[in-house]
């Protein structure tokens, strides 16, 4: 039996969706512990953490588990939870395997930045990890401090969220006939995801687009405002409240049919991110799956993704680079070709079934 520890939605993040997809999709017997404490107050989090430890103790010593599958954290508080799980699981029985699934690109930096007793605890725990899973070949380096871990690459996935009858040929025809280029930002609205630079680039481009004979950019934004080291959640909420115009529209959080329609109506999915832990953004895979070109920054492992999918790479935190990308995508023939290529490549490389089966293959080694 598998003991699976990770976050379940809500809130919706790439890691939470990926963990949910596996634990609900695997055919292996699986007991799940949800560790998503987002949105809870300080005392509620303490209560949840205490409950987690008690439950972990009862499960590890009270049931026959052969594998621990855990999506690990890159924060001190989250890592303490991971350390407890790994050490207790290995203590419970000798012949047990630990599989750590890393969804972020900052684990190596996180470990390197720690000192003293906490670093010692991290070392003790991760020295007992048997297998690691990362999203791209480049991410294998994230486990460089722990050479005993056998690392596997399992790319992210995309669910088949498009309605029956969706036609890439019809979409290409619409792109060729359109009077504007529809750009979609579909991610949590965090400043370091490059949203502010994207908006600024749209405004700058559209000021001269019509005079220069270019098709203007229509930007649709969807996602929840969230905080990072650059802006608070409230600051992002205020920023987003400014947009409900002809060329920039904010839709809030969307899912289901509304989300699918935004992807289908788009021509380009943009993510000019410099978000520290960005790894393999799910919105780019979903965008390609719906037959869109990608506009993405040279950051972490994005360039590796564009060796499989197609689009335009831009410089981080550069409004002018985004404007230049808009100009490049004015070539209707090139834009249409990219959209068609991405539609087919996303299906070949990022299926949900392949994702679940690949994790099962790694977990199965330890059973």
**Residue 40: predicted pLDDT:** 66
Reported as a pLDDT band with limits 50, 70 and 90, residue 100 is very high
Is the confidence at residue 81, as pLDDT, over 80? yes
Percent of the chain past pLDDT 90, that is, above it, reads 84
Reported as a pLDDT band with limits 50, 70 and 90, residue 94 is low
Residue 237: count of CB within 10 angstroms of its CB: 14
pTM of the predicted protein model: 0.89
- Phi then psi dihedrals of residue 186, to 5 deg: -125, 85
Mean pLDDT of the chain: 94
Is the confidence at residue 160, as pLDDT, over 80? yes
How large is the greatest C-alpha to C-alpha distance in the chain, in angstroms? Answer: 72
Reported as a pLDDT band with limits 50, 70 and 90, residue 80 is very high
Could you tell me if 316 and 274 are in contact, meaning their C-beta atoms sit under 8 angstroms apart? yes
Instruction: Retrieve residue 293's tokens.
Output: 């070109």
Could you tell me if 3 and 60 are in contact, meaning their C-beta atoms sit under 8 angstroms apart? yes
Is the confidence at residue 92, as pLDDT, over 90? no
Residue closest to 134 by CA, chosen among 158, 108, 107, 153 = 153
Could you tell me if 65 and 89 are in contact, meaning their C-beta atoms sit under 8 angstroms apart? yes
pLDDT digits (tens, 9 = 90+) for 13-69: 888 999 999 999 999 999 999 988 766 677 777 887 888 888 888 888 877 899 999
**Residue 142: predicted pLDDT:** 97
**Residue 95: predicted pLDDT:** 79
Domains and CATH numbers, the chain: 2-157+352-366 (3.40.50.2000), 168-349 (3.40.50.2000)
Tell me which residue has tokens 């991290």.
122
Torsion angle, alpha carbons of 74, 79, 81, 83, to 10: 140
Distance (Å) of CA 249 to CA 133, 194, 220, 267? 37, 16, 5, 15
Enclosing H/E stretch for 104: none
């Amino acid at each position: 039996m598998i003991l699976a520890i990770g976050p379940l939605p809500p809130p919706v993040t790439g890691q939470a969706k990926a963990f949910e997809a596996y634990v609900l999709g695997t055919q292996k017997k699986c007991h799940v512990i949800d560790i998503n404490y987002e949105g809870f107050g300080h005392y509620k989090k303490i209560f949840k953490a205490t409950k987690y430890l008690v439950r972990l103790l009862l499960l590890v010593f009270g049931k026959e588990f052969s594998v621990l599958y855990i999506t690990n954290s890159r924060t001190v508080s989250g890592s303490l939870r991971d350390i407890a799980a790994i050490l207790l699981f290995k203590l419970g029985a000798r012949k047990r395997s630990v599989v750590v699934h890393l969804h972020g690109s900052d684990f190596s930096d996180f470990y390197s930045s720690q000192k003293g007793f906490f670093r010692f605890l991290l070392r003790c725990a991760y020295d007992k990890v048997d297998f690691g899973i990362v999203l791209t070949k480049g991410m294998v380096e994230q486990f460089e401090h722990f050479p005993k871990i056998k690392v596997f690459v399992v790319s992210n996935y995309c669910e088949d969220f498009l309605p029956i009858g969706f036609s890439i040929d019809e979409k290409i025809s619409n792109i060729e006939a359109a009077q504007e280029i529809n750009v979609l930002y579909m991610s949590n609205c965090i400043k370091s995801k490059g949203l502010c630079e994207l908006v600024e680039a749209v405004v700058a481009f559209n000021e001269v687009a019509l005079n220069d004979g270019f098709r203007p950019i229509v930007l649709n934004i969807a996602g929840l405002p969230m905080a990072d080291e650059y802006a608070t959640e409230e600051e992002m909420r205020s920023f987003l409240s400014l947009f409900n115009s002809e060329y920039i529209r904010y839709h809030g959080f969307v899912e289901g049919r509304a989300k699918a329609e935004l992807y289908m109506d788009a021509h380009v999915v943009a993510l000019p991110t410099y978000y520290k832990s960005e790894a393999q953004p799910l919105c780019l895979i979903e965008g390609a799956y719906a037959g869109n070109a990608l506009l993405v920054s040279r950051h972490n492992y994005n360039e590796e993704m564009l060796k499989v999918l197609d689009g335009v790479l831009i410089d981080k935190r550069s409004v002018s680079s985004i404007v230049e990308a808009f100009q490049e995508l004015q070539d209707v023939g090139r834009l249409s070709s990219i959209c068609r290529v991405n539609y087919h490549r996303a299906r070949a490389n990022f299926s949900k079934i392949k994702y679940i089966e690949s994790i099962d293959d790694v977990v199965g080694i330890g059973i």
